[in-house]
Structure 1
Amino acid sequence: MTRLLAAVRVTTAFRGIVTALAALTAMTAAPPSARAATEPQAPADFVSLRSVDRTIIQEMRYFTPHNFVGERIDGYRQPLCLLTRPAAEALHTAQRQLLRQGYSLKVYDCYRPQRAVDHFVRWAEDLDDEAMKAEFYPNVDKSRLFTDGYIAEKSGHSRGSTVDLTLVRLPAKPTRPYHPGEPLVPCYAPQSERFPDNSVDMGTGFDCFDTLSHTLDPRIQGEQRANRLRLKNTLEKLGFVNLAEEWWHYTYKPEPYPDTYFDFPVSAGSLTHHR
């Protein structure tokens, strides 16, 4: 009798294992298209900028806590610049021209998923979170970020042909990492006092919420103005259009997706279906 009961228990346990294995097999056997459907993918004409030009410097700020929010932004899973192919190829042409002049492009942000824009909006609505105010918006009341146009519910970056960038004089010096909690300096302070960036002096740092960031602000003169115009003139000849309120912001025209705001994450995985 004891042996019979033991045999029954073994058989029951074996059947349980078989059932569990069958369920696991069914899950893993789901077609790739069904699994991929849980995460949006980039259209086939999106590329990694590095696959088009490996010499352009990349300092993807929203993958780091060194930005106006003070933490990595939603949707930035890797520090990559993703763009539509026409925009990436135009940057490659600009880079070839600038290298001959002793400069390199450096990108801060490229394609930006809608979930990142949503993160900006949530942050802007939280008026108590001013951790990075002293650097990025020292003269702007946070309650006015929407009214003054610094934050919006949609961004041209999400269409894939807009890029935030600057110039670096070669040979490029390394940029030290930002350490959360370190003392902050206004983004419009003299370059020697601002957070050390290996770029040329544009008069303000990147993402400076201030009218001094307007590309042709008359208060910006001398070398700073010359640097802005070098970037502007180079890119505009190749089809880029500058946003007048931000010296770093350019959109390639005509845009392949002028009315589409994508939400696939910034990662190499978003491009895997291209292979």
Structure 2
Amino acid sequence: MKKIFTFFLYWSALTLFTQELPKGFSYIKDVAPSIQKELRYCYTNNFVGASVEGYEEPILITSTKAALALKKVQDKLIKKGLSLKIFDAYRPQRAVNHFGRWARTPKDTLTKQQFYPKLNKRNLFKLGYISSRSGHSRGSSIDLTIVDLKTNKELDMGGPYDFFGKVSHVFYKGITKKQKENRMLLRKIMLEFGFKPYSYEWWHFTLRNEPFPKTYFDFPIK
């Protein structure tokens, strides 16, 4: 009887702290647990300079179809002594709205030197860095890089994640040969397993034939 009661408590705890995802979505840890993560929007190391609305826990969620494709990428990288590291996956619409409110607050320039030193914040919408909708909210867009498992350090991509500027463009010429090779390695392997790149952000990819191409979800990440 005691064992049954203990199991019931354990099951209740799992139910309490794990939300039921919409059909067609998965936790990446359940599909590809070896993928590394650094969910910047859960904390303060991001262009907003604060935890972003909707990111309640540092957990990766994507469409199941995208998660399965990422597993294939990871399996191939592991054989080379490398690993994916994801910065952002599914993003609730409320987080996108938070970005919009931040962009419309010109006096809040706390993160300017780190993320947009050469840009006027009032132009972020016009230049396409901030928008009212994001492909991430459809569940199949991913921001990521590659890590060397021997050193546990990210490969040098020639520019930091989420930087607003030309250095983030995939084919930016002002970086070294090795940095270009690292970008092309990421691009090549993501293309191989069904992801399409975004030319203005070396880290951003979207699954081709994504399962929810017109639906923007807003359930929280927890």
The corresponding residue for 1:253 is: 208
> How many pairs align?
204
The corresponding residue for 2:219 is: 264
Please state if 1:206 is matched with 2:161.
yes
Question: Could you tell me which of 208, 211, 225 is aligned with 2:180?
Answer: 225
More strand by share: 2
Q: How far apart, CA to CA, are the structure 2 residues paired with 1:42 and 1:146?
A: 31
* 1:220 CA displacement: 2.5
User: Residues 124 and 145 of structure 1 are in contact (CA less than 8 Å); yes or no, is this contact kept in structure 2?
Assistant: yes
Is the partner of 2:98 in helix, strand or coil? helix
Please state if 1:167 is matched with 2:167.
no
Describe the superposition over 1:182-229 as per-residue Cα deviations: whole angstroms up to 9, x where unpaired. Answer: xxxxxxxxxxxxxxxx31110111001011100111223311000000
Q: How far apart, CA to CA, are the structure 2 residues paired with 1:220 and 1:152?
A: 28
After superposing on structure 2, the runs of 4+ consecutive aligned residues of structure 1 that deviate more than 3 Å are none
Is the partner of 1:139 in helix, strand or coil? coil
Is the partner of 2:99 in helix, strand or coil? helix
Give the gaps of 5 or more residues in structure 1: 1-39, 174-197, 268-275
Q: Which amino acid aligns with 2:202?
A: W
Q: How far apart, CA to CA, are the structure 2 residues paired with 1:211 and 1:41?
A: 40
The corresponding residue for 2:49 is: 70
Please state if 1:96 is matched with 2:75.
yes
Q: How far apart, CA to CA, are the structure 2 residues paired with 1:257 and 1:67?
A: 27
Change in 2 beyond 3 A, CA 1:144/1:73 = same
* 1:68 CA displacement: 0.2
Residues 1-275 of structure 1 aligned to structure 2 (within 5 Å):
42-173=21-152, 198-267=153-222
Change in 2 beyond 3 A, CA 1:92/1:172 = farther
Q: What value does the CA root-mean-square deviation take over the aligned residues?
A: 1.2
User: Residues 41 and 264 of structure 1 are in contact (CA less than 8 Å); yes or no, is this contact kept in structure 2?
Assistant: no
Give the gaps of 5 or more residues in structure 2: 1-18
Describe the superposition over 1:224-248 as per-residue Cα deviations: whole angstroms up to 9, x where unpaired. Answer: 0000000000010111001100000
TM-score (norm 2): 0.90
Is the partner of 1:260 in helix, strand or coil? coil
TM-score (norm 1): 0.73
Decide which structure has the larger Cα Rg and report it: 1
